[in-house]
Amino acid sequence: MSSNSSGEGKLKRQLGFVDLTFLGLGAIIGSGWLFASQGGATLAGPSAWIAWVIGAVAVGLIGLVYAELSGALPRAGGIIRYPDYSHGPIVGFMMGFAALVAYSSVAGIEAEAMRGYAQTWWKGLGTSTGGITTLGWFVQAILLALFFLLNYWSVNIFGKVNSIVTAVKFIVPLLTVIVLLTHMHASNFSSHGFAPGGFTGIESAVSTAGIVFAFLGFRQAVDFAGEAKNPQRNVPLAIITAIAIGAVLYVLLQITFVGALPGSSLSGGWSALNFKSPFANVAKLIGLAWLANVLFADAVLSPSGTGNIYLSSTARVLFAWARTGTFFKVFSRINPKNGVPRPALWLSFILSIFWTLPFPTWGKLVGVVSSATVMTYIIGPISAAALRRTASSMHRPFRLAGMSVIAPIAFIVASLIIYWTGWAIDSWLIGLQLIMFVLYLIVSKAMPTAVSVGQAVKSSLWLVVYYIVMFLVSMLGDKAFGGNGTLKTPVDQIIVIVIALISYFWGVKAALPQHNITEEHTEEDSELAAAPY
């Protein structure tokens, strides 16, 4: 396992409560608010606001679990390290890979969203059929390079700039809500039925319309916990605050989007909505050209802030993965002058460029990212419950009341979101996770850790079985979720709930007999104690 040797730097605790909250809120208010309201409406019609409530509650439950973990163990890239602490290197390795896919792709997705909106006034950035030109790709790469440079010099500069950008980003969607509330059509909420896709449409909207993708930004407070002032107080509070503010804003945006649509745009039904720039196009249709211009400008700013955050957080995840001993040690190095994990930041930049290559559209990539991210979160409730047993004496500044109820519910909800994402995405994401399990067994001798391979396998077997069964259920599931239709709704989802409950209790019981919080992490606690609050 890598460690901080002499000559290597340490992460600097420079981020306060406002910085952490704005990191979460800045990631939540990204390209999601620009596109997801239309995505939700096409799948769920006027009932799409319910999908936002479900998404907020689902992610909120997961966020509460991580609030306890991050308060007790404020670590950079904590989402990777907590499973390693509770279940050992194999589970940590598998979560590390899922997180790498989930995190590294977001900056590229946001750069694509910026380019897509900028194409409205700079036609050379894309083609008339929605494709990207060579010029457009280079513009995306330049944007990512700017994010890289901003992160390269200091986490303090990064945090302050992000707080300013997020404040501006919040004003525009709030202004949009206020203005569109004066142009509402009550008849829209019954047009073609309140829920034309039924509850299945609402479920699909939660996982594939960008709703979960939007809320998952709360994790930034967890990822930057190692650089937070007074993290035991500020990190849990920032998580809860960011989710709550984001939930209220997104529900209002969804309601005003549905209500402000001109009746003529609904002639083909909700599923026919296909605006390239949803809110800006609606503003134009109802005669608000000035608002459309503001939205087009913000369409560049909002994704840029989120892309900047995720480029930096990807570096923290890579750093954390390396610190567990199951990823290349070079990425655990920190620049001694500014406390930035520069090797990890370089790899984060390269991966973000990779994700700007000609992949599918924003919507399809969002489905992949949402599912991959939820895969990294499923272990959180189990790790928290397991550490209650194996690290019972650990100080928990925020102790979640009702953990025995909230944790299994959070795991069930996360499992349902993975299923709702659909077979097309689940098939290869779950398949890759199983491949990573086999890969670890092959290379385990080259990755010596404090936990034996035998114990690591024993503590990870529940996750492997969970993935295999979820793979089969997704394949056999309802056609609405891409399955072959053998299992119809609601039978398919009842099965997922049962699988989740069994896996949860098995996973908690299968934890390491002794937690894997080693001396390296005790050193971090010493740094924390000495940090100026």
Q: How far apart are CA 464 and CA 469, in angstroms?
A: 9
- Of 1-10, 15-24, 478-487, 507-516, the least confident: 1-10
**pLDDT digits over 87-125, tens only?**
999 999 999 998 888 888 888 888 888 888 788 778 898
- For the chain, give the mean pLDDT: 85
- pLDDT of 24 over the 90 cut: no
Q: Which parts of 445-532 fold into alpha helices (H)? A: 453-476, 491-509, 519-530
**pLDDT band for position 505 (cuts 50, 70, 90):** very high
Structure tokens at 5: 């040797």
Q: What is the pLDDT of residue 25?
A: 87
Q: Mean pLDDT, to the nearest integer, of 68-92?
A: 89
Q: Mean pLDDT, to the nearest integer, of 279-308?
A: 87
Q: How far apart are CA 322 and CA 109, in angstroms?
A: 25
| Residue at 297 is within a domain | yes
CB 67 within 8 A of CB 240: yes
CB within 8 Å of 320: residues ≥ 6 apart: 75, 76, 77, 78, 79, 80, 81, 96
More confident residue, 214 or 286: 286
More confident residue, 511 or 209: 511
| Residue at 26 is within a domain | no
More confident residue, 380 or 336: 380
| Residue at 29 is within a domain | no
CATH code of the domain in which 352 resides: 1.20.1740.10
Strand residue runs (E) in 88-155: none
Q: What is the pLDDT of residue 365?
A: 64
| Residue at 5 is within a domain | no
Write the Ramachandran bin of 457: left for phi over 0, alpha for psi from -120 to 50, otherwise beta: alpha
Strand partners, 76: 224
Q: pTM value? A: 0.81
**pLDDT digits over 451-501, tens only?**
999 999 999 999 999 999 999 999 999 998 899 999 998 899 999 999 999
**Which among 98, 107, 205, 161 is positioned nearest to 433, based on CA atoms?**
98
Q: What is the DSSP track for 288-356? A: -HHHHHHHHHHHHHHHHHHHHHHHHHHHHHHHHHHHTTSS-GGGG---TTT---HHHHHHHHHHHHHTT
Q: What is the largest CA-CA distance in the chain?
A: 68
| Residue at 391 is within a domain | yes
**pLDDT digits over 409-432, tens only?**
999 988 988 898 889 888 988 998
Q: What is the pLDDT of residue 281?
A: 92
Structure tokens at 226: 């190692």
- pLDDT of 404 over the 50 cut: yes
**Which among 326, 331, 354, 328 is positioned nearest to 342, based on CA atoms?**
331
| Residue at 507 is within a domain | yes
Q: What is the pLDDT of residue 8?
A: 53
**pLDDT band for position 361 (cuts 50, 70, 90):** low
| Residue at 13 is within a domain | no
Number of domains in the chain: 1
**pLDDT band for position 309 (cuts 50, 70, 90):** confident
- pLDDT of 327 over the 50 cut: yes
**pLDDT band for position 10 (cuts 50, 70, 90):** low
**pLDDT band for position 502 (cuts 50, 70, 90):** very high
Domain carrying residue 207: 36-526
| Residue at 2 is within a domain | no
Q: Mean pLDDT, to the nearest integer, of 365-388?
A: 83
